[in-house]
C-alpha cells in the first residue's frame, strides 16, 4: 500500500548558510527500513525540485532510525540574501511528509493518521 | 553529583517567563542564555555606527535579568550567557548594577570578550569555505569578523569565582558545556567526555525545541498545552550521561521524538559535528524514554577538537525590498496572476536594476516555491508578495513603491497594508573561514 511519509515518520529542518538539513525520523524501527530504501537522495531532491538547487547528501543513522539530508543551495543564497518569505527554511521539512512510499500491508494498523487533537 | 542546567533562552526574541520559571522552580545550578543568531554581531556593528547610544548587548538584557536574578541569587544559581554581543563588559556592568539594586553588591560578574577580530582582518589569509577563494574576491564592504570561541574562557571565569559570565560570540553548545567542565573538572585530555557535554549542549541550546516547540503536527504529533511550553533542564552526571526534562506542571513534552528532532537540528554529518570544543558523534547515542517527560541520553561519542576555530566575516552586499497586497473571493487567483504581470511590466517601465526578483502567491506557493504542488481549486484568498534584491537602497525601494501603485492603479478589490512597516532591509552576507586558535585571544574582565 502507498502512504505519505507522514504516516511513518516526522521531520525537522535547520539552516547553516545556504545549506538546509532535513531530518526524517521513523516513528518505529520497522518503518525506518522503508525510509532507508525509498527516501533516497534522488527521491528527496526530485520532491524539492526547483527549491534545492545543489547537492543532496544523506546520512543514515541506523541506531536511531534517522535519515539526515544535507541539502546545498536550498536557502536562496543564505538567510540574509534570500528573497524567500521563509528565509531560514524552517518550513522546508514539512514538504517531505507528502512524498509517497510503499509500505507492507502488515503496517496498516500502525500507521499514523490525523487524529483529532 | 548531578548537575542541573536550565535553559533561559534559545534566541534573542525568546519568551522570558519560561526562564523565570526555571530560575524560580527548577532547582538549577546553572541557567544558560543563548541570544545570538548568525547575523547578530554584524547587525549590532551596523547599528552601533548609526546609533552611538546603542549599548551593543542584548536589548532584552535588563528584562531577562530582572526576571531571573532574584531567584538565582536566592538559590545560588550561576548564570552563563552570550548576551554580551559586541559589548560583553558593558552588559556585565549592567548586570552588576541590577545586582547592587537587589542588595547583592558583591555578586561577581565576568565578561568574556575577544571573539571580535575585525582588527585582525589582514591575518585572515585562508580560504573562504563557501567559495573556495580568498577573502579579496568577496564583493562588498566588510562589517565585522568574529570567531566562535569555545568553553575554555567561561570555565576560566567560573574558576576565578564568577557567579555570572557574560560573553560575546561563543558557540552555542559551549555555553552549556562550560559548567560541566568546571563542576566535574573535565580536562582537555578527556576528549570523549567533553564531546558528550558538547552534545548535551546541542540538545539544550535551542531551548523549547527539545520540549515540544517547533514540533507539533496536529493529530500526528501533539503535545499538551502548547501555549505553555517550558524551557528544558538537563540533569548531567560526571560521566556525561544525562536526562533531559522540564518543569512539572508546564505544557509541551520531552520524549524520544522531541529529543531526536533536536539532536539532528542544524547538524550535517552526525558522526562529525564540529564545535570549538569537540568533534561530536551523535550516531552512537542511546535515547531512552523514562516517562514523565524524562529522556535519558547516553553514549554520545566524539573526539578532540580540531586545531582551528570558525570565523564569520560579515559583508554589506546590498538591500532587499519587499511588500505584499491581497485578493479574496471569486477570481482571486486570476487577479493575482494578472497582478504579477502588471508588476513585471511596471518594473521594466521604472527600469528596475535587480539582482534577483521574486513574486510569490501566499497560500499557493510562497513557502515551498517551485516544489509546491499545482492546485486544482480556487482558493478564497491569495496574497501577492514581491521581493527584490538590489545593490542600492533606491532600487530595492522600487518593490514597495510599485506595490503602492497597485492601490489605486491596480486591479479591482486590491487589499493593501497602509500604513506599512519598514520595507527595505540591508543584506549582510556571512562568509566562513577557519583560523588558527592562536589568532583568537579571549579576555576576561570582572565588572
* CATH number of domain containing B321: 3.30.70.2750
pLDDT for residue A17: 86
Residue B194 to residues B11, B190, B253, B257, Cα–Cα distance (Å): 24, 6, 27, 25
Q: Determine the Cα–Cα distance for residues B151 and B177; give it in Å rounded to an integer.
A: 6
Report the range of poorest mean pLDDT among B133-142, B228-237, B291-300, B330-339.
B133-142
Mutate to test the interface with A, among B368, B399, B433 (most CBs of A within 10 A): B368
**Cβ atoms of residues B21 and B198 within 8 Å:** no
Which residues constitute the domain of residue B25? 3-114+149-306
Is residue B325 domain-shared with residue B300, that is, in the same domain? Answer: no
Say whether pLDDT at A41 is over 70.
yes
* Residue A46 domain flag: yes
CA of A24, closest CA in chain B: separation in Å? 9
H/E element, A60: strand A56-61
**Cβ atoms of residues B7 and B207 within 8 Å:** yes
Task: Supply the mean pLDDT for chain B.
Answer: 96
Is residue B246 domain-shared with residue B335, that is, in the same domain? Answer: no
CA A40 from chain centre, in angstroms, equals 10
* Residue B132 domain flag: no
Mutate to test the interface with B, among A64, A100, A113 (most CBs of B within 10 A): A64
Is residue B367 domain-shared with residue B411, that is, in the same domain? Answer: yes
Crossing angle of helices B172-184 and B191-204, rounded to 10°:
130
- Is A24 near chain B, with CB under 8 Å? no
Contact across the interface for A25 and B257, Cβ inside 8 Å: yes
Residue-wise pLDDT tens digits, B83-93: 999 999 999 99
Nearest to B423 by CA among B270, B321, B312: B321
Is residue B333 domain-shared with residue B292, that is, in the same domain? Answer: no
Contact across the interface for B368 and A91, Cβ inside 8 Å: yes
pLDDT for residue A115: 62
Mutate to test the interface with B, among A65, A85, A111 (most CBs of B within 10 A): A85
Residues of B with Cβ-Cβ distance to A6 under 8 angstroms: 217, 220
φ/ψ of residue A80, rounded to 5: -75, -40
Domain count across chain A: 1
Extract long-range pairs of A26-34: CB within 8 Å, 24+ residues apart. A26/A65, A26/A66, A27/A112, A27/B257, A28/A65, A28/A110, A29/A65, A30/A107, A30/A110, A31/A65, A31/A103, A31/A107, A32/A62, A32/A65, A32/A66, A34/A8, A34/A101, A34/A102, A34/A103
Percentage of residues in chain A with pLDDT exceeding 90? 82
Is residue B287 domain-shared with residue B318, that is, in the same domain? Answer: no
* Residue A15 domain flag: yes
* Residue B126 domain flag: no
Measured between CA atoms, the residue of chain B closest to residue A113 is B220
Q: Provide the Cα torsion B369, B370, B376, B379; round to 10°.
A: 20
pLDDT for residue B137: 87
**Cβ atoms of residues B10 and B211 within 8 Å:** no
* Residue B137 domain flag: no
* Residue B134 domain flag: no
Which residues constitute the domain of residue A32? 2-103
Residues of B with Cβ-Cβ distance to A50 under 8 angstroms: 369-371
Count of pairs with CB atoms under 8 A, one residue in A, one in B: 134
Neighbours of B216 (CB within 10 A): 16
* Residue A116 domain flag: no
Q: What is the mean pLDDT of residues B309-330?
A: 96
Q: What is the mean pLDDT of residues B418-429?
A: 90
Is residue B341 domain-shared with residue B299, that is, in the same domain? Answer: no
Percentage of residues in chain B with pLDDT exceeding 70? 100
Say whether pLDDT at B42 is over 90.
no
Domain count across chain B: 2
Q: What is the mean pLDDT of residues B387-412?
A: 96
* Residue B142 domain flag: no
- Is A109 near chain B, with CB under 8 Å? no
Q: CATH code at A46? A: 3.30.70
Is residue B165 domain-shared with residue B17, that is, in the same domain? Answer: yes
Residue-wise pLDDT tens digits, B162-218: 999 999 999 999 999 999 999 999 999 999 999 999 999 999 999 999 999 999 999
Neighbours of B89 (CB within 10 A): 22
Is residue B81 domain-shared with residue B219, that is, in the same domain? Answer: yes
* Residue B14 domain flag: yes
ipTM above 0.90, yes or no: yes
Residue-wise pLDDT tens digits, B270-295: 999 999 999 999 999 999 999 999 99
pLDDT band at residue A117 under the 50/70/90 scheme: very low
- Is A45 near chain B, with CB under 8 Å? no
Q: Determine the Cα–Cα distance for residues B314 and B428; give it in Å rounded to an integer.
A: 6
Read off the C-alpha cell for A36: 532507508
Nearest to B392 by CA among B420, B358, B424, B359: B424
- Is A25 near chain B, with CB under 8 Å? yes
Residues of A with Cβ-Cβ distance to B208 under 8 angstroms: none
Residue-wise pLDDT tens digits, A73-116: 998 888 888 999 998 889 999 999 999 999 999 999 999 987 64
* Residue B264 domain flag: yes
- Is A104 near chain B, with CB under 8 Å? no
Contact across the interface for A83 and B39, Cβ inside 8 Å: no
Q: What single DSSP character describes residue B306?
A: P
Q: Determine the Cα–Cα distance for residues B27 and A111; give it in Å rounded to an integer.
A: 40
* Residue B268 domain flag: yes
Contact across the interface for B367 and A113, Cβ inside 8 Å: no
* Residue A108 domain flag: no
* Residue A115 domain flag: no
* Residue A13 domain flag: yes
* Residue A58 domain flag: yes
pLDDT band at residue B318 under the 50/70/90 scheme: very high
- Is A113 near chain B, with CB under 8 Å? yes
> Which of B38, B219, B366 is nearest residue A116 as measured by Cβ atoms?
B219
Contact across the interface for B427 and A80, Cβ inside 8 Å: yes
Computed on alpha carbons and rounded to an integer, the radius of gyration of chain B in Å comes to: 24
DSSP string, B327-374: EESTTHHHHHHHHHHHHHHHHHHTT---SEEEEEEETTTTTTGGGSPP
Q: Determine the Cα–Cα distance for residues A76 and A70; give it in Å rounded to an integer.
A: 15
Q: What is the mean pLDDT of residues B102-112?
A: 97
Contact across the interface for A78 and B429, Cβ inside 8 Å: yes
SS3 assignment, position B238: coil
Say whether pLDDT at B148 is over 80.
yes
SS3 assignment, position B426: strand
Q: Determine the Cα–Cα distance for residues B215 and B229; give it in Å rounded to an integer.
A: 11
Is residue B302 domain-shared with residue B317, that is, in the same domain? Answer: no
* Residue A109 domain flag: no
Task: Say which residue the cell 559586541 belongs to.
Answer: B86
DSSP string, B55-110: -SS-TTHHHHHHHHHHHHHHHT-EEEE-TTTT-HHHHHHHHHHHHHHTT-TT--EE
Amino acid at each position: 500500500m502507498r502512504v505519505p511519509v507522514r504516516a511513518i515518520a516526522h521531520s525537522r529542518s535547520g539552516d547553516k548558510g545556504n545549506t538546509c538539513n532535513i531530518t526524517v525520523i521513523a516513528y518505529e524501527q520497522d518503518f525506518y527500513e522503508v525510509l532507508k530504501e525509498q527516501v533516497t537522495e534522488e527521491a528527496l531532491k526530485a520532491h524539492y525540485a526547483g527549491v534545492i538547487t545543489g547537492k543532496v547528501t544523506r546520512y543514515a543513522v541506523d541506531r536511531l532510525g534517522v535519515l539526515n539530508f544535507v541539502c546545498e543551495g536550498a536557502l536562496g543564497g543564505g538567510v540574509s540574501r534570500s528573497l524567500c518569505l521563509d528565509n531560514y527554511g524552517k518550513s522546508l521539512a514539512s514538504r517531505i511528509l507528502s512524498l509517497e512510499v510503499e509500505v507492507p500491508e502488515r503496517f496498516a494498523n500502525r500507521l499514523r493518521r490525523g487524529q483529532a487533537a | 553529583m548531578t548537575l542541573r542546567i536550565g535553559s533561559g533562552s534559545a534566541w534573542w526574541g525568546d519568551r522570558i517567563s519560561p526562564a523565570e520559571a526555571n530560575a524560580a522552580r527548577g532547582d538549577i545550578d546553572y541557567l544558560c542564555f543563548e541570544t545570538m543568531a548568525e547575523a547578530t554581531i554584524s547587525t549590532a556593528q551596523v547599528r552601533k555606527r548609526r546609533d552611538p547610544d546603542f549599548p551593543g548587548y542584548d536589548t532584552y538584557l535588563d528584562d531577562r535579568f530582572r526576571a531571573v536574578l532574584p531567584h538565582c541569587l536566592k538559590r545560588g544559581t550561576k548564570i552563563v550567557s552570550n548576551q554580551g554581543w559586541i559589548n560583553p563588559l558593558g552588559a556585565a556592568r549592567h548586570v552588576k548594577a541590577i545586582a547592587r539594586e537587589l542588595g547583592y553588591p558583591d555578586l561577581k560578574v565576568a565578561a568574556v570578550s575577544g571573539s571580535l577580530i575585525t582588527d585582525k582582518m589582514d591575518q585572515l589569509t585562508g580560504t573562504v569555505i563557501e567559495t573556495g577563494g580568498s577573502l579579496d574576491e568577496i564583493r562588498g564592504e566588510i562589517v565585522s569578523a568574529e570567531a566562535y570561541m569555545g568553553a575554555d574562557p567561561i570555565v576560566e571565569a567560573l574558576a576565578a569565582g564568577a557567579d555570572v559570565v557574560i560573553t560575546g560570540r561563543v558557540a552555542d553548545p559551549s555555553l552549556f558545556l562550560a559548567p560541566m567542565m568546571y563542576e566535574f573538572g573535565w580536562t582537555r585530555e578527556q576528549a570523549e567526555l567533553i564531546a558528550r557535554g558538547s552534545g548535551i549542549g546541542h540538545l539544550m541550546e535551542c531551548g523549547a525545541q527539545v520540549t515540544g516547540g517547533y514540533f507539533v503536527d496536529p493529530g500526528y504529533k501533539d503535545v499538551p498545552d502548547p501555549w505553555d511550553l517550558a524551557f528544558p533542564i538537563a540533569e548531567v552526571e560526571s560521566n556525561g550521561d544525562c536526562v533531559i526534562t522540564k518543569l512539572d506542571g508546564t505544557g509541551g513534552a520531552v520524549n524520544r521524538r522531541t529529543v531526536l528532532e533536536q539532536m539532528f537540528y542544524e547538524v550535517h554529518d552526525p558522526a562529525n559535528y564540529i564545535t570549538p570544543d569537540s568533534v561530536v558523534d551523535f550516531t552512537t547515542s542511546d535515547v531512552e524514554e523514562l516517562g514523565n517527560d524524562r529522556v535519558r541520553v547516553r553514549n554520545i561519542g566524539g573526539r578532540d577538537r580540531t586545531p582551528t576555530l570558525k570565523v564569520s566575516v560579515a559583508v554589506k552586499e546590498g538591500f532587499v525590498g519587499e511588500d505584499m497586497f491581497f485578493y479574496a473571493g471569486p477570481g482571486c487567483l486570476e487577479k493575482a496572476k494578472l497582478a504579477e504581470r502588471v508588476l513585471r511590466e511596471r518594473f521594466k517601465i521604472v527600469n528596475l536594476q535587480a539582482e534577483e526578483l521574486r513574486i510569490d502567491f501566499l497560500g499557493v506557493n510562497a513557502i515551498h516555491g517551485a516544489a509546491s504542488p499545482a492546485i486544482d481549486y480556487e482558493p478564497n484568498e491569495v496574497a501577492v508578495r514581491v521581493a527584490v534584491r538590489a545593490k542600492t537602497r533606491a532600487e530595492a525601494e522600487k518593490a514597495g513603491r510599485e506595490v503602492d501603485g497597485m492601490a489605486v492603479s491596480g486591479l479591482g478589490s486590491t487589499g493593501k497594508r497602509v500604513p506599512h512597516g519598514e520595507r527595505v532591509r540591508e543584506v549582510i552576507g556571512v562568509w566562513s573561514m577557519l583560523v588558527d586558535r592562536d589568532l583568537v585571544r579571549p579576555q576576561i574582565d570582572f565588572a
